[in-house]
């Protein structure tokens, strides 16, 4: 759809985009709060309509700030495209990716205020999705609004692609990319959906881990049984599963699945040196996480363990009676949700198969085992010494006022490898989230100073990137 109306009042033409951002900051925060009030939880069917409403909201908002928008339904949640008004001639084209879906807010009772009633306290804006990822891509939208509203001219074409299924594996985005390959072809993708180590340490993330999800179900008796009458004469599925899961990792933090590390590309000496320069204090890190002591794969630092080494985690574990009081049963089944985080050159299919096969091999004959492979994503690694990456680093310094670092991160954004495969484009990951933003946790927040810096970044970035392409 074409934009509804030009947004600007005349006097905004007298300002720079940066002045405009300062002038309109309170209004922009209010709009972000409106966006955050929509509970776009992609994982929960009960929120299906809310997710659709959220897509419509952000599409309308993009139109209001002067972009040409399209709302594309999929088999799952809609995809929003928003383009800056096109100019004649061949110009650089950048894609800005973000996701309007959010993680489930549970456990709700651990939130200091309701997750979908945004609350500002000091420099923090609390709400589910504040930093992951509504606040981060909203900053880029506000930057483009600022440029357009002040009569500035972008040196390139921009397409915002905002999807609603990132938190559940982006299943419908890959076919969409293929279908729209021509209009989405671009010189690079820019994503702000990662983090920075501190407010004084902006970062270009050049690697992300991949992921492979696997559900494990162990079945015992045909029904829950009285544990007094029958207990002792049959295996307990919860205990069988617990034994199997515990055996997946040794005491030195190594995953015991045969072949698990075969495709792992070792860290270079240079990377290890870079990572060792990042600030780290074991005691305060443990305190920040709330654990009595850290644990990880022996021989690697915590930064390496959490960003550049593969892992296997239990994300959920269920069996038997979970309600109030006690219930004396041998449960009929037990199940666990696992994810493995992957590094180059591991493949999600291979790893899911290896783990499933290993579980089968250690499953006792007293229970039955079922495994179901879930979503998967390849790890991402970008050569950080390109002219585009250097231009991004320069812009980070301008926007934040601090020298940036190069980072590998442990989270996953599986679509970035598809951007490369389908569109031929590298992705620049310029994260605005802080370590204590509580992504996926209760009390998620976004630092409003990073919202401002992110918007500033968005006003400065496009000339720098376009210039880097021209050079």
List residues near Zn ion by CB under 5 A: 132
Q: What angle, rounded to 10 degrees, do the helices at 135-149 and 448-470 form?
A: 60
Residue nearest to Zn ion (CB): 132
Q: Which of 165, 444, 166, 440 is nearest to 315 (CA)?
A: 440
CB of 193 to Zn ion, least distance (A): 7
Please, which residue, 132 or 165, has the CB nearer to Zn ion?
Answer: 132
One of 195, 202, 331, 384 touching ligand BES (CB under 6 A): 195
Please, which residue, 414 or 454, has the CB nearer to ligand BES?
Answer: 414
* Partner interacting with residue 193 (select from ligand BES, Zn ion, none; CB below 5-8 Å by kind): ligand BES
- Is 193 among the residues that bind ligand BES (CB under 6 A)? yes
Q: Name the residue with tokens 């309007």.
A: 100
CB of 197 to ligand BES, least distance (A): 11
Please, which residue, 334 or 340, has the CB nearer to ligand BES?
Answer: 340
Residue nearest to ligand BES (CB): 411
* 155: helix, strand or coil: coil
CB of 107 to ligand BES, least distance (A): 18
Please, which residue, 171 or 247, has the CB nearer to ligand BES?
Answer: 171
* Partner interacting with residue 353 (select from Zn ion, ligand BES, none; CB below 5-8 Å by kind): none
Q: Which residues, 126 to 145, sit near ligand BES by CB under 6 A?
A: 132-133
CB of 379 to ligand BES, least distance (A): 11
H or E stretch covering 81: strand 79-83
CA-CA distances (angstroms) from residue 27 to 22, 149, 278, 317?
10, 14, 36, 44
CB of 340 to ligand BES, least distance (A): 12
- Distant-in-sequence, close-in-space partners of 46: CB < 8 Å, separation ≥ 6: none
Query: Is 396:404 a contact under the CB 8 Å cutoff?
Result: yes
Query: Is 192:160 a contact under the CB 8 Å cutoff?
Result: no
Query: Is 447:400 a contact under the CB 8 Å cutoff?
Result: no
Q: How far from chain centre, in Å, is Cα 316?
A: 19
Please, which residue, 139 or 333, has the CB nearer to ligand BES?
Answer: 139
How would you label 150-167 residue by residue, b for 16+ Cβ within 10 Å and e otherwise? bebebbbbbbbbbbbbbb
- Is 375 among the residues that bind ligand BES (CB under 6 A)? yes
- Is 409 among the residues that bind ligand BES (CB under 6 A)? yes
- Is 377 among the residues that bind ligand BES (CB under 6 A)? yes
CB of 103 to Zn ion, least distance (A): 6
Residues in the chain: 471
Q: Which of 54, 63, 60 is nearest to 7 (CA)?
A: 63
Query: Is 389:399 a contact under the CB 8 Å cutoff?
Result: no
* 102: helix, strand or coil: strand
Please, which residue, 213 or 329, has the CB nearer to ligand BES?
Answer: 213
- Is 194 among the residues that bind ligand BES (CB under 6 A)? yes
DSSP secondary structure letters along 348-380: HHHHHHHHHHHHHHH--TTSEEEEEEEEEE--E
Q: Which residues, 413 to 452, sit near ligand BES by CB under 6 A?
A: 413-414, 439
One of 12, 166, 437, 447 touching ligand BES (CB under 6 A): 166
Query: Is 1:69 a contact under the CB 8 Å cutoff?
Result: yes
* 3: helix, strand or coil: coil
* Partner interacting with residue 377 (select from Zn ion, ligand BES, none; CB below 5-8 Å by kind): ligand BES
CB of 171 to ligand BES, least distance (A): 10
One of 167, 187, 437, 444 touching ligand BES (CB under 6 A): 167
- From 118-126, 151-159, 325-333, 412-420, span contacting ligand BES (CB under 6 A): 412-420
128 burial via Cβ count (<10 Å: 0-12, 13-18, 19+):
buried
Residues found near ligand BES in the complex (CB under 6 A): 132-133, 166-167, 169, 193-195, 208, 211, 375, 377, 409, 411-414, 439
């Amino acid at each position: 759809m074409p934009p509804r109306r030009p947004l600007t009042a005349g006097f905004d033409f007298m300002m720079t985009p940066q002045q405009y951002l300062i002038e309109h900051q309170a209004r922009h925060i209010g709009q972000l709060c409106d966006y955050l009030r929509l509970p776009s939880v992609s994982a929960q069917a009960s929120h299906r309509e809310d997710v659709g409403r959220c897509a419509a909201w952000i599409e309308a908002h993009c139109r209001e700030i002067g972009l040409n928008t399209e709302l594309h339904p999929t088999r799952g949640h809609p995809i929003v495209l928003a383009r800056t008004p096109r100019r004649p001639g061949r110009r650089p084209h950048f894609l800005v990716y973000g996701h309007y879906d959010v993680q489930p807010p549970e456990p709700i009772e651990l939130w200091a205020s309701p997750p979908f009633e945004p609350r500002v306290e000091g420099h923090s804006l609390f709400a589910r999705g504040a930093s992951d990822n509504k606040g981060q891509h909203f900053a880029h939208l506000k930057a483009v609004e600022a440029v357009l509203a002040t009569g500035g001219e972008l040196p390139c074409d921009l397409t915002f692609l905002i999807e609603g299924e990132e938190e559940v594996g982006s299943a419908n985005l890959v076919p969409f990319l293929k279908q729209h390959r021509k209009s989405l072809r671009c010189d690079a993708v820019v994503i702000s959906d990662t983090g920075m180590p501190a407010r004084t340490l902006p970062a270009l993330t050049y690697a992300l881990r991949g992921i492979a999800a696997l559900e494990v179900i162990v079945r015992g008796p045909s029904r829950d049984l009285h544990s007094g009458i029958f207990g002792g004469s049959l295996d307990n599925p919860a205990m069988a599963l617990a034994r199997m899961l515990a055996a997946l990792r040794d005491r030195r933090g190594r995953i015991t699945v045969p072949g698990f590390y075969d495709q792992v590309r070792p860290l270079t000496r240079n990377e290890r040196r870079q990572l060792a320069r990042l600030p780290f204090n074991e005691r305060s890190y443990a305190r920040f996480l709330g654990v009595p002591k850290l644990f990880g794969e022996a021989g690697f630092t915590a930064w390496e363990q959490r960003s550049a080494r593969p892992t296997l985690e239990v994300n959920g574990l269920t069996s038997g009676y979970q309600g109030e009081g006690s219930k004396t049963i041998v449960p009929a089944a037990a199940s666990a949700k696992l994810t493995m985080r992957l590094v180059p050159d591991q493949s999600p299919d291979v790893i899911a198969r290896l783990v499933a096969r290993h579980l089968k091999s250690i499953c006792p004959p007293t229970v039955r085992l079922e495994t179901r492979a879930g979503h998967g994503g390849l790890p991402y690694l970008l050569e950080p010494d390109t002219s585009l990456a250097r231009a991004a680093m320069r812009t980070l310094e301008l926007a934040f006022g601090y020298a940036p670092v190069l980072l590998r991160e442990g989270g996953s954004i599986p679509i970035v490898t598809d951007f490369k495969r389908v569109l031929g484009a590298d992705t620049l990951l310029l994260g605005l989230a802080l370590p204590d933003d509580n992504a996926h946790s209760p009390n998620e927040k976004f630092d409003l100073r990073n919202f401002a810096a992110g918007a500033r970044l968005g006003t400065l970035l496009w000339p720098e990137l376009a210039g880097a392409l021209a050079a």
